[in-house]
Amino acid sequence: MHAFDVLGDPVRRRILELLAGGEMTSGAVCAAIQEEFGISQPAVSQHLRVLRDNGFATVRPEGARRLYSVRPEPLRDIDTWLDHFRRFWTPHLDALATELARGRRERRLRDPDERTDP
């Protein structure tokens, strides 16, 4: 299965988002996904299997529990592929950063006692 086929599913993307926060038990992943998407435990398990079988997640047993975590390598491959397209949004993000800095500077000049975000 191609990486974008794996990540094309919103449930699998959400599972990866959860796992990006750190290792989680399959039960915790299932509970979160069931609450958000209203799908069954077997359906969540199938999504976990797709992520595992395609190298996006790893699982390690700990007693009776199964702990899942993200494997970064496939995400690096996607990031490398995205390098071809960064030129389309990087200048816009740079311009946004400039405008935000300009706005902070103008607020500081108007009110030197006003605290700004770092």
pLDDT value of residue 42 = 96
pLDDT at res. 116: 52
Q: Which of 74, 80, 68 has its CA nearest to residue 55?
A: 74
Which token pair is 80? 């490398």
pLDDT tens-digit map of 8-42: 999 999 999 999 999 999 999 999 999 999 999 99
Q: Work out the end-to-end distance of the chain between its first and last CA atoms, rounded to an integer number of angstroms.
A: 43
Of the pLDDT bands very low, low, confident and very high (cuts 50, 70, 90), residue 85 is confident
List the alpha helices (DSSP H) in the chain.
Answer: 3-7, 10-20, 26-37, 41-53, 72-82, 86-110
Radius of gyration over every alpha carbon of the chain, rounded to an integer in angstroms = 20
Position 59 scores a pLDDT of 96
Chain segment 59-84, per-residue pLDDT in tens: 999 999 999 999 999 988 888 888 88
pTM of the prediction? 0.71
Q: Is the pLDDT of residue 89 over 90?
A: no
How many C-beta atoms lie closer than 10 Å to residue 78's C-beta? 13
Q: How many angstroms separate the CA atoms of 11 and 43, rounded?
A: 10
Question: Residue 87: what pLDDT?
Answer: 81
**Are the C-beta atoms of residues 42 and 51 closer than 8 Å to each other?**
no
Which 3 state secondary structure label does DSSP give 9? coil
